[in-house]
Amino acid sequence: MSVSRTKQRQARSKIGQAAQASQALVKPLGGWIATFQEAVGMSAVIVAERLGVSRNSVYGSIEDERAGSITLNRLDKVAEAMGGKLVYAIVPREEPVEEIIMAQARKKAKRIIQRTRAHMALEEQTEGLRSQGEMIEELASEMVREMPRDFWK
């Protein structure tokens, strides 16, 4: 197995683990900063002192998080100041990574098969061909194994 295939397999495993862990996490209504702050019983004044900023800056961070405009760097610093750590991941919305890849392969394979079948029909060479669905699945599986450079185009 090539190095790139090994790295890809390891990355898929990490994403799968993160996806599984993320199922138990739902962003709290007030945001993570306010929730963690409440959980440890730390006032905004103390958080501000630890960060070396004003109390209003801490409130601003809470509002920025709620608005979705806080930076990861800022969120990490606030978490550290409260004795926590920032954990983030990008995980698939619903299906596993392999299904995302296979859906792209099917899409590309369908375009190729349809174009090929159209040319064959013009030349009256369609007799005895397998079904379009079978051909798409076979080509898609081959594309996933090979992952050509233009796979995501």
User: Same domain for 22 and 51?
Assistant: yes
45 or 114, which is more confident? 45
Statement: residue 142 has pLDDT above 90: no
* Structural contact between residues 54 and 48, judged by C-beta atoms closer than 8 angstroms: yes
84 or 117, which is more confident? 84
Mean pLDDT, range 103-127, rounded to an integer: 80
Q: How far apart are the first and last CA of the chain?
A: 25
Structural domain of residue 61, as residue ranges?
Answer: 3-81
At 9 the pLDDT is 87
User: Same domain for 37 and 70?
Assistant: yes
User: Same domain for 118 and 74?
Assistant: no
Does residue 7 belong to any structural domain of this protein?
A: yes
The first and second tokens of residue 42, run together, are 């730390």
User: Same domain for 111 and 70?
Assistant: no
Split at pLDDT 50, 70, 90, the class of 23 is: confident
Mean pLDDT, range 37-56, rounded to an integer: 96
Put simply, whether the predicted model's pTM sits higher than 0.85 gets the answer: no
Statement: residue 52 has pLDDT above 80: yes
Split at pLDDT 50, 70, 90, the class of 90 is: very high
Per 3-state DSSP, what percentage of the chain is helix, strand, and coil (rounded to 5)? 65, 0, 35
The first and second tokens of residue 83, run together, are 């004795």
* Angstrom distance (rounded) from CA 12 to CA 148: 18
Question: Which of the listed residues 81, 108, 136 is the one where a domain comes to its end?
Answer: 81
